């Protein structure tokens, strides 16, 4: 590492040149006419690539101007190699980079050198010169702030464009010599260089007064490498290489200010990619796969393939979601999907829920749309005290919002939104329900009674003023949540019509007219294709088989039984080709319900993070989704499986096993079959396998009665085995308990026998000596 004392005073100008014969004289003239003492600068020209007369022109200037320190050398092809050679040769305390088609004012070096000091970057005035008209005009690289001299506050946000172009700045050479340009890059080299240079150095930035006319003149000419014709290589592949280098710099960032600055440098690269996609939209999947191959720590997916001008709205809605990413729940994921789909900047308030599993991959993506995030410290609970705490603590954090949105499965969100609405009546409140809140199957209540009389009285006073039905402590918490939300929200969002009908049917208040006026039906959103290519899954599939996937849990009303039955009855050759992949925390349950042959063909996996799930869903041959069986529990099936929205964006074949007249049965899905119909499900599986395996269609359904007896026998045997295991464990427990009882009796006997010794004065006096003895042991 070179020391400053080893360098001479002055400035080293590093000037790569490639076939610059048309322009180089203009630059040389500006250098030999500098007002600074010629002993205080050197001009290092590095010829790279194919030769023209440029070296001869430089040599002529060397000969005619011996008093000027003009150095001529060469490097391997490429501007990065040339600049790295110049860095190696630089011998002055400060360095500046100049392009061979640009030039500088006569006092440029002198004015910048007056302001130099260690750890400071000095910036001059940047002007553009039109190649055809020679018109000189202000550059976008020189924002109004640069017209004033002095130290710049917050330079990484106020003058970001000016400090990431290679030219027009003097930098301490000791810092430059610890850096290099990436020779693998042909475009965006300046962005990539400074993304890695600034995080390693704590600079202040000083701007020379514009009135001093310390001008750097940049020539705009057609064919410059930064302004090439559109191509996949230039607009996509080369941009991804630059973003990869930017990510390397991001890992060096020590402050949030620096991280934000470096992340912002990807913007220009995304513009180039979007330009290409606008002209070649059919290449979108190819672009996504190329992005995925890099496994970036940061990529601005928010802006990819979007109209950037419409994304950064100033007027922000407040999202109220008790559970929110990184907390890993279905509610968290759906709210995040709403934000990503609506493509608007928002603020968020949520609970920390430290006791619930986290998924930080989805958080990283959705944070691009979140300006402020408020967090109420809380573990997860559905009791009223926890709900009230979220409501009260949340109200201390939020104010000044004209629009709010809340979503329940967890009623905490709606209760906080209600409280905010009551305190701010003009605020527009969108309230979404994921499912009916009052009952689940068999009319089981989902919450306890609300016994907070103080809260009930407060709400009833408001309801009396509006001549509305009152609430009471005999009502469930969730029932009160539904009722009050229906009354006070400005828009009610249901995921489907059946959900709305069921919720109106189960609520013991007549609010149909109120709700109908402000209802919106909005199924769970399906994300853009790009989100399926963010988190690469390394999960391996054997392509010799047809791979089916099931994500989720099973319970009494959704047990995968129809698929199991179809598998057991499908054509033998098809059955040999089937492989099932289950992603669930319920492995033990699945092992009990799967038939023996299917169990042998099944691979069990733990749950995966949401973005990896999206990527995985695009890998399989078939995705299985089942309705919940609700007949006899509700007037109709109110549930639309949330996974269906994710599956529909994967491009993978979907097999939906549907309850009659359910919302899922009405969707346009390639393969659908009715629940509890052995013939139809087996036939559907035969059709799927004939398409996926290239084997001829063949159906060989067993007798329904015969199969039912076989299946019953198999399940009965499993129940018997489970009983035997339980009995064995109970016997072990009895033995263990007997051994524990015997040990306790021995301990009591020893305590009784030794009580006189332990309580004696001599035992107490020798306590410290016994401790010393233990240490020696």
The whole-number pLDDT of residue 730 equals 67
Question: Which residues of the chain register pLDDT less than 70?
Answer: 141-148, 221-228, 441-443, 698-706, 708-727, 729-731, 747, 750-777
Give residue 700's pLDDT. 61
Q: Residue 371's pLDDT is what?
A: 92
CA distance 645 to 479: 28
Element housing 658 (H / E): strand 653-658
Q: Are 171 and 95 in contact (CB under 8 A)?
A: yes
> Cβ(397)–Cβ(461) under 8 Å?
no
The closest of 610, 528, 527, 644 to 284, measured between CA atoms, is 528
pLDDT value at residue 92: 97
CA separation for the pair 639, 665 (Å, rounded):
11
Neighbours of 1 (CB within 10 A): 5
What pLDDT is stored for residue 777 in this prediction? Answer: 43
3-state helix, strand, coil in the chain (%, to 5): 45, 20, 35
The whole-angstrom separation of Cα 471 and Cα 478 is 12
135 secondary structure, DSSP code: -
692, 690, 674: which is closest to 571 by C-alpha? 690
Strands 120-123 and 169-172: antiparallel
- Read off the pTM: 0.81
Question: Cis before residue 603, ω within 30 degrees of 0?
Answer: no
Per-residue confidence (pLDDT) for residue 206, from 0 to 100: 95
Task: Give CA–CA dist 152/1, Å, rounded.
Answer: 29
The pLDDT value recorded for residue 675 is 93
The pLDDT assigned to 396 comes to 96
Sorted by sequence, the CB contacts under 8 Å of residue 516 that are 6+ apart come out as: none
User: What is the rounded distance in angstroms from the CA atom of residue 669 to the CA atom of residue 656?
Assistant: 7
- Within 8 A by CB and 6+ apart from 645, the residues are 337, 523, 524, 525, 526
Residue pointed to by tokens 């996974």: 643
What does the DSSP assignment read for 369-433?
Answer: GEEEEEEE------SHHHHHHHHHHHHHH----SEEEEEESSTHHHHHHHHHHHH-TTSEEEEEE
661: exposed, middle or buried (C-beta count within 10 Å: 0-12, 13-18, 19+)? exposed
CA distance readout (Å), 479 to 261, 468, 508, 759: 48, 15, 8, 63
């Amino acid at each position: 590492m070179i020391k400053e004392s080893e360098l001479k005073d002055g400035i080293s100008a590093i000037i790569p040149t490639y076939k610059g014969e048309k322009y180089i004289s203009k630059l040389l003239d500006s250098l030999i006419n500098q007002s600074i003492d010629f002993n205080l600068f050197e001009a290092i020209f590095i010829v790279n690539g194919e030769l023209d007369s440029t070296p001869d022109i430089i040599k002529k200037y060397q000969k005619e101007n011996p008093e000027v320190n003009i150095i001529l050398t060469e490097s391997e092809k490429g501007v990065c190699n040339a600049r790295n050679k110049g860095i190696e040769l630089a011998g002055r305390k400060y360095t500046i980079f100049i392009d061979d088609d640009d030039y500088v004012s006569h006092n440029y070096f002198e004015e910048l050198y007056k302001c130099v000091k260690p750890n400071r970057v000095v910036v001059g005035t940047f002007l553009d010169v039109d190649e055809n008209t020679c018109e000189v005009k202000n550059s976008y690289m020189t924002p109004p702030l640069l017209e004033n001299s002095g130290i710049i506050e917050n330079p990484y946000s106020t003058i970001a464009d000016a400090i990431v172009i290679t030219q027009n700045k003097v930098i301490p050479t000791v810092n430059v010599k610890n850096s290099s340009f990436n020779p693998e890059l042909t475009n965006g080299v300046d962005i990539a260089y400074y993304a890695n240079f600034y995080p390693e150095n704590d600079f202040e930035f000083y701007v020379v007064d514009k009135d001093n006319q310390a001008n750097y003149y940049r020539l705009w000419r057609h064919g410059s490498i930064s302004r090439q014709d559109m191509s996949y290589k230039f607009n996509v592949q080369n941009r991804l290489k630059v973003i990869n280098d930017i990510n390397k710099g991001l890992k060096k960032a020590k402050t949030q200010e620096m991280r934000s600055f470096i992340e912002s440098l990807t913007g220009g690269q995304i513009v180039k990619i979007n330009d290409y996609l606008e002209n070649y939209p059919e290449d979108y999947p190819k672009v996504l796969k190329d992005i995925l191959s890099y496994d970036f720590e940061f990529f601005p997916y928010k802006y990819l393939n979007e109209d950037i001008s419409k994304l950064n709205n100033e007027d922000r809605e407040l999202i109220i979601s008790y559970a929110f990413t990184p907390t890993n729940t279905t509610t968290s994921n759906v709210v995040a999907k709403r934000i990503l789909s609506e493509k608007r900047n928002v603020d968020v308030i949520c609970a920390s829920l430290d006791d619930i599993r986290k998924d930080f991959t989805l958080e990283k993506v959705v944070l691009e749309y979140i300006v402020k995030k408020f967090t109420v410290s809380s573990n997860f609970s559905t009791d009223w005290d926890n709900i009230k705490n979220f409501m009260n603590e949340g109200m201390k954090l939020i104010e000044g919002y004209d629009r709010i949105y809340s979503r329940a499965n967890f009623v905490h969100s709606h209760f906080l939104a209600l409280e905010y609405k009551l305190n701010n009546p003009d605020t527009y409140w969108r309230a979404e329900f994921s499912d009916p809140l009052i009952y689940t199957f068999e009319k089981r209540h989902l919450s306890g009674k609300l016994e907070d009389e103080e809260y009930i009285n407060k709400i009833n006073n408001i309801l009396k003023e509006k001549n509305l039905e009152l609430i009471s402590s005999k009502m469930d918490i969730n029932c009160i949540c539904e009722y009050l939300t229906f009354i006070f929200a400005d828009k009610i969002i249901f995921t489907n019509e059946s959900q709305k009908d069921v919720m109106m049917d189960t609520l013991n208040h007549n609010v149909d007219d109120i709700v109908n006026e402000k209802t919106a039906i909005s199924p769970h959103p399906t994300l853009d294709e790009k989100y399926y290519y963010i988190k690469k899954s390394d999960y391996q599939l054997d392509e010799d088989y047809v791979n089916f996937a099931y994500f989720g849990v099973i319970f009494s009303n959704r047990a995968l039984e129809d698929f199991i039955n179809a598998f057991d009855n499908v054509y033998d050759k098809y059955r040999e080709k089937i492989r099932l992949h289950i992603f669930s925390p319920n492995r033990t349950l699945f092992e009990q319900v799967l038939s023996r042959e299917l169990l042998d063909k099944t691979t069990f996996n733990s749950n995966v993070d949401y973005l990896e799930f999206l990527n995985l869903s695009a890998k399989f041959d078939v995705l299985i989704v089942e309705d919940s069986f609700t007949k006899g529990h509700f007037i109709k099936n109110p549930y639309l499986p949330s996974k269906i929205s994710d599956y529909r964006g994967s491009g993978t074949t979907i097999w939906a096993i549907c309850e009659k007249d359910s919302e899922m049965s009405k969707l346009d899905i390639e393969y659908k079959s009715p629940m509890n119909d052995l013939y139809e499900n087996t036939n559907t599986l035969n059709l799927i396998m004939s398409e996926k395996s290239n084997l001829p269609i063949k159906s060989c359904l067993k007798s329904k009665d015969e199969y039912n007896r076989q299946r019953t026998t198999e399940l009965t045997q499993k129940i018997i085995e489970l009983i035997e295991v339980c009995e064995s464990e109970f016997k072990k427990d009895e033995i263990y308990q007997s051994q524990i009882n015997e040990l306790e009796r021995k301990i009591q006997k020893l305590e009784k026998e030794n009580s006189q010794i332990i309580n004696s004065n001599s035992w107490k006096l020798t306590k410290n000596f016994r401790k010393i003895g233990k240490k020696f042991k």
